[in-house]
Homo-oligomer: A and B are copies of this chain.
Amino acid sequence: MPAKIQPRTLKGFRDYPPAKMIPREWIIETARRVYRSYGFSPIDTPALEYLEILTGKGSAETDKQLYRFEDHGGRQVGMRFDLTVPLARFVAQHIQELGTPFKRYQIANVWRGENTQRGRYREFMQCDFDTIGTTSLSADIEMVLVINDLLSTLEVGEFTIHINHRGVLNGLLEKLDLADKATDVLRTLDKLTKIGEEKVRRELTETVGATDAQAEQLLDLSSLEGSNEKMLDEAEKLIAGNEVGELGIAGLRELIASVSATLPPQATDRIRFEPSICRGLDYYTGIVLETTLNDLPEIGSVASGGRYDNLANLYTNQKLPGVGASLGLDRLLAALEELGRLEQVQTTAEVFIPFFAAERRNDYLQLAAQLRAAGIGVEFFPDAKKLGKQLQYANRRGFRIALILGGDEFAAGECQVKDLATGDSQTVSLAEDAKAVIAEIRRVLGN
């Protein structure tokens, strides 16, 4: 016998057994359903792209992390590291046939050869949605509504959608004559919640090269507090006289008003103007947002996005503005687990049928088929083992109901419907395509 190959996964990569994959599929399904309810349509793009497509847009950091190689035809190729670059390439290539506005979602894996010591994974899933080809505020509003619907459905508790407009920060930078240092300033301000005001002030003056007065004004804006209205009023004062900034404030006011008018009253508190948010990426130009869970703010944003002016400028002369966001699947799963809101289930079917009377296989199969025709998921155990062993299997996997049928039950035309949570059991008739069995199962499942 030859030596065995050690079964193992690469560092930074994960297997998903059913207990991990079932909640994952549930979140993905929820995202799909919500995206679709707004008319976003699915697209997909290849995992592999020409290297020049991927390195064109990426930062030095993503370039370094790229999985790249030469393919069988001698082409330089890479594995996609996000869904934004493939989207830009896709719309540059297809937008003529597709037309605008183009609303798409894409839920797919991306790969980055990251340093795994920071708890990062090298393969992870992104769930993006974007509206391309319009500058309408409606598209910005929808982005907020989609995130609200999604997180409400997922039952992660209360959450806060932190909203800013790049015009507000850019306006202040213009006013302070710091526009040429914008990238450094924004990168530093982005650390505010992480490293605190004093360290940010020091970095602004010592590293970025702002004066004390400039740093003071930037921090004044970033640390505003109070109601949305009060903060917007104060921000307006800080950027008074700068057009870009004033347009940003006006956009935020209109967005918040529309979202508040559309959401149910108890949900309007979820939207917060947060002037320190700028989303590191260079390409956002309008509204930007991040979303935190009120019970677990420390895990970071679970849904982030914003508006951009020009998605595909590397690949086409056509200017394509848009707005979009991405759901943080892994963070949401971690949050649901930490909040104890994930059921520990390893089965996709509700009902378990032990194989009891070995000569009755076809009768079991027929009963299972009747239940499936009524929309009930059924697993029929394959081997006629001891009943106790089979029920142990069912309990361990999290089935809700077992149907107990031995030769006697079949002869009497009856079946025991056993609630595996309570242990209660009802005997019902198998007649009329198992009508009574189906009714009793629905009663136990509560639907």
Contacts and interface: CB of A to CB of B under 8 A. Distances in A.
Contacts of A93: 7-9, 15
Interface in A373-398: 376-383, 393, 396
Interface residues of A, number: 108
A49 interface: yes
Contact of A72 (B32, B56, B113, B380): B113
A324 to B, nearest CB: 13
A43 B21 contact: yes
Contacts of A92: 7
Contacts of A97: 17
Given A7-B316, A10-B49, A50-B10, A138 B361 contact: yes
A316 to B, nearest CB: 6
A18 B53 contact: no
B138 A355 contact: yes
A43 B45 CA distance: 22
A346 interface: yes
A262 B47 contact: no
Nearest to A2: B314
B145 A52 contact: no
Interface in A267-325: 312, 314-317
Contacts of A418: none
Contacts of A35: 348
Contact of A101 (B258, B317, B382): B382
Contacts of A79: 47
A138 B396 CA distance: 21
A73 interface: yes
Contacts of A382: 101, 131, 134, 136, 138-139
A442 to B, nearest CB: 16
Interface string A57-80: 000000001011111110101010
Nearest to A16: B44
A259 to B, nearest CB: 9
A24 B44 CA distance: 10
A109 B46 CA distance: 10
A362 interface: yes
Interface string A110-144: 01010000000011000000010010111101100
B258 A361 contact: yes
A17 B102 CA distance: 11
A310 B6 CA distance: 17
Given A67-B69, A145-B365, 5 more contacts: A6-B315, A15-B45, A36-B349, A39-B348, A262-B365
